[in-house]
């Protein structure tokens, strides 16, 4: 198996949008923090200190992984705002978890004031963890070899977009009443256009209609999950495109939306 094949295999093992490699990285980060007795933990004996940091980093990473898809749906296509929102959203529940660890492992009493005391430290570590996740995902992201060149929107749609969006790779087209939400890797814009006209313009584009109100570019699909005859595609801008039963069967047969969840 090639290195790229290994990277693709590892990238498929995920909790939410967090890969197993990221959780291993968190475990190693926890071992490092335990070794240097970070955040005034030098008085804790060695073994309990390592247990504490493993529970804190890996458990906190799992909490962050479960929160991340929800945050991604709130701020699609805005990576900087997404990173900030992810840090803000994950800090309170992880602080609660970290405050509970001494009670779970060592039988200490728990008080909510401990949550407030741990929050600044948790926030600091969360900033580092989000950076670590970005670096890990960049390293594991397969190179674009043997893939079609990225495509911009067809001229009929591109003419309605701001220049910055018109030059960017097309991610998806979503119908919203009498308007279309044109999603690109540089952001999204609402334009006045019928979905049927957009589909006609997209006829030669490398993508597929997934729903009566969605068209998705093939190269934008990151993961696909399936349940009860329907599906959901997570796209490169963080948005989630629904797949209705009408289109699910055809999509499952493609190499770019192969089932990774229960069918």
DSSP secondary structure string for all residues of 137-177? HHHHSPP-TTSPPP-PPPHHHHTTS-HHHHTSPEEEEEEET
pLDDT at 145 over 90: no
In this structure, are residues 63 and 93 in contact, taking their beta carbons and an 8 Å threshold? yes
- More confident: 78 or 149: 78
Say how many Å lie between the first and final Cα of the chain, rounded: 28
CB neighbour list of residue 176: distance below 8 Å, 6 or more residues apart: 190, 213
Average pLDDT value for residue range 97-112: 86
Tell me the pLDDT tens digit for each residue of 14-58: 554 566 777 787 888 889 888 988 887 888 888 989 999 999 888
Number of other CB atoms surrounding residue 178 within 10 Å: 9
Number of other CB atoms surrounding residue 189 within 10 Å: 17
pLDDT at 104 over 90: no
Least trusted range by pLDDT, from 36-45, 92-101, 113-122, 169-178: 36-45
Residue (of 188, 192, 181) closest to 215 by Cα position: 181
pLDDT in the model for residue 260: 47
pLDDT at 208 over 70: yes
Phi, psi of 63 (to 5 degrees): -65, -45
- More confident: 130 or 116: 116
pLDDT at 97 over 80: yes
Handedness of CA 160, 165, 169, 174 (dihedral sign): negative
Tokens representing 187 are 């952001």
Residue (of 254, 143, 157) closest to 205 by Cα position: 157
Q: pTM of the prediction?
A: 0.47
pLDDT in the model for residue 24: 80
pLDDT in the model for residue 210: 92
How many CA within 13 A on the CB side of residue 78? 12
pLDDT at 123 over 60: yes
Cβ-in-10-Å burial (0-12, 13-18, 19+) of 86 comes to buried
């Amino acid at each position: 198996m090639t290195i790229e094949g290994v990277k693709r295999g590892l990238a498929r093992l995920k909790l939410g949008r967090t890969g197993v490699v990221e959780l291993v990285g968190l475990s190693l980060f926890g071992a490092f923090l335990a070794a240097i007795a970070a955040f005034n933990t030098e008085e804790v004996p060695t073994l309990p200190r390592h247990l504490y940091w493993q529970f804190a980093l890996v458990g906190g990473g799992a909490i962050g992984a479960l929160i991340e898809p929800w945050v991604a749906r709130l701020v699609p296509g805005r990576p900087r705002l997404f990173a900030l929102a992810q840090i803000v959203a994950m800090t309170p529940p992880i602080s609660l978890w970290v405050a509970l660890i001494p009670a779970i492992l060592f039988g200490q009493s728990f008080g909510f004031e401990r949550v407030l005391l741990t929050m600044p430290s948790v926030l600091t570590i969360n900033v580092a963890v989000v950076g670590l996740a970005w670096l890990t995902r960049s390293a594991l992201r397969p190179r674009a070899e043997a893939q079609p060149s990225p495509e911009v929107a067809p001229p009929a749609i591109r003419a309605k977009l701001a220049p910055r969006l018109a030059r960017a790779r097309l991610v998806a087209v979503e119908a919203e009443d009498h308007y279309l939400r044109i999603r690109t890797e540089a952001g999204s814009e609402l334009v006045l256009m019928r979905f049927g006209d957009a589909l006609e313009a997209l006829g030669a584009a490398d993508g597929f209609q997934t729903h009566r109100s969605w068209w998705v570019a093939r190269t934008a699909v990151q993961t696909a999950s399936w349940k009860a005859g329907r599906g959901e595609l997570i796209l490169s801008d963080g948005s989630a495109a629904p797949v209705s039963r009408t289109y699910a069967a055809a999509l499952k047969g493609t190499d770019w939306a192969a089932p990774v969840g229960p069918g």
